[in-house]
Amino acid sequence: MTTTATTAASTGVEPPADGLVVVVKQDCPTCQLVAPVLGELVDRGATVYSQDDPAFPPGVEVRDDTALDASVALGIDVVPTLLRREGGRETARAEGWDRATWRELSGVADLGADLPDWKPGCGSRTHDPAVADAMLVRARGHELTARRVELAGLEDEAEALYDRGWTDGLPVVAPTPPRVLRMLAGTTRAPDEVVAVVPPNLVPATVEKVAINAVLAGCRPEYLPVVLAAVEAVCAEEFNAHGLLATTWGAAPAVLVHGPVARRIGVNSGGNALGQGTRANSTIGRAVQLVIRNVGGGRPGEVDRATLGQPGKVGLCFAEDEESSPWEPLSVGRGVPAGTSAVTVFATEGPRGVVDQISRTPESLARSLAVALRGVGHPKLAPGFDAMLVLSPEHVAVFAEAGWDRARFTAALAELLLLPPEELARGADGIEEGVPEPTRPRPKFRPDGLLVAVAGGGAGKFSAVLGGWVGGPGGSSPVTRVIEEA
């Protein structure tokens, strides 16, 4: 017997304040087994509720709970359940049939003498998926204000959503009211709270609208706080999402997740972190892109004017490998307290791998990485495009074993990426592209224009460069936001 002291959930139904309560359903062998004892309990003042047939058991006064209001109010998970209430509070509960427990709880010494000692119960109807969805909508459907779109009975959901322009070209999950309500359970923020004003059409995006797009993308509810923080960051003025959409360059928003939330919800920071196969990575970045498309109106061929684009425009999300990295997280350097969950969004093109399997000194490896970084945008443009360098564990270990911390590494890169004017000038090396009449060395990246994160599998001396877009005024700056967790 489980002893408790709880109040009934608020459903508008008030179970008896005092006495015994039994909840059963006819479609349950254990409830049929205990049917003979229910009349005896009713004669002693017990109240019986039936979840599916108020005529069961015959000859016993039973209250109709086919609407399941009483079951929800009492928190029924298993039938039969016998519980005792005193002063409006539950003080004891027994789930399934256990003769000794039922006798103790009811005070009837010979209760169920002809029944077996024990038999497990069945699942409550409140946990039937179809019933649970209907009850969820009945209880919380008033929270949803988005326009409802009814599909014809024979209409294919995937095709219908594609035809309405709500997809990125891939199939999406239909955002039914139960799915949206379950998604909203992933945050404590109110559904009507405005998260951000989404470019290019500058449309306010509420938590509900973001949740709808998270459903479309295939997110789980626990991902929603990350998506909300990423949407806020992407819509920040300094990120300049409108400019990023309208440029003919192929960069797009990427999401880097920091802190304990990454491990808790399964955002991959290890092997294949920039690739497929992890639900959190694949769907969080996609949800952000769908918000821009479906709420803000940023569609290819319209405001989105990319000449070529790249696969990351479907969505790119990964996490820092903070647990095994020898360096402090990137987020700490961006002002986030250690151990705090956050996201950094940045403009990026597709990843480009960097191979160096031979360098064993930090000086040699830093030079290899600098040469690869010089190619961002164009080797003769400096400063211009931002970038992120994703260091693999085997590469970062070369620096850590030599005593280099993050600050020393980035300072060394900055020195190596101070490019001589004769190499940058238009016409140099027979290339007309370049800087017009440079007179002094120029840094490849503006201050804070190169981000460095540690991620990737434990084997392989391969890192990656994520080239960005024009940095600073007129372009885009990375934005970091703390995640408001439920």
**pTM, to two decimals:** 0.86
Residue 13: band (very low, low, confident or very high) from pLDDT cuts 50, 70, 90: low
Considering the chain, what is the average pLDDT of its residues?
94
Which tokens belong to 427? 């016409």
8 A C-beta contact, residue 398 and residue 457: no
- Give the CATH superfamily of 2-127: Glutaredoxin (3.40.30.10)
What local confidence, expressed as pLDDT, does residue 5 receive?
Answer: 43
Q: Is the pLDDT of residue 450 over 90?
A: yes
The 10s digit of each residue's pLDDT in 130-163 is 888 888 888 888 899 999 998 888 889 999 999 9
Angstrom distance (rounded) from CA 406 to CA 329:
9
For the segment 202-256, what is each residue's pLDDT rounded down to a tens digit?
999 999 999 999 999 999 999 999 999 999 999 999 999 999 999 999 999 999 9
Q: Considering the chain, tell me which residue range(s) the CATH 3.40.30.10 domain(s) occupy.
A: 2-127
For residue range 322-373, what is the model confidence (pLDDT) as tens digits? Answer: 999 999 999 999 999 999 999 999 999 999 999 999 999 999 999 999 999 9
Among 189, 268, 173, 187, which Cα is nearest to 222's? Answer: 187
Could you identify the residue written with the tokens 């929603």?
224
CB-CB contact of 230 with 328 (8 Å): no
- Say if residues 133 and 178 touch (Cβ distance below 8 Å): yes
Rounded to 5, what percent of the chain is helix, strand, coil?
A: 35, 20, 45
In sequence order, the β-bridge partners of residue 418 are 443
pLDDT tier, 14 (very low <50, low <70, confident <90, very high otherwise): confident
DSSP string, 84-105: EEETTEEEEEEESEEHHHHHHH
In the numeric block, which tokens belong to residue 266? Answer: 């399964």
* Residue 40 CB neighbour total at 10 angstroms: 15
pLDDT at residue 429 is higher than 90 = yes
Contact 48, 65 (CB under 8 A): no
Q: Provide the pLDDT for residue 118.
A: 97
- Which phi and psi (to 5°) does residue 174 adopt? -65, 125
Question: What average pLDDT does this structure show over 90-106?
Answer: 97
DSSP state of 376: S
pLDDT at position 11 over 60:
no
- What size, in residues, is the chain? 486
- Please, are residues 342 and 481 in contact by the beta-carbon 8 Å criterion? yes
Contacts of 36 by beta carbon, 8 Å cutoff, 6+ apart:
57, 112, 114, 115
If 0-12 CB within 10 Å is exposed, 13-18 middle and 19+ buried, where does residue 204 land?
exposed
pLDDT band at 1 (very low <50, low <70, confident <90, very high): very low
Q: Are 254 and 312 in contact (CB under 8 A)?
A: yes
* Nearest residue to 467 via CA among 352, 413, 387, 354: 387
Residues 349 and 388 sit within 8 Å (Cβ to Cβ): no
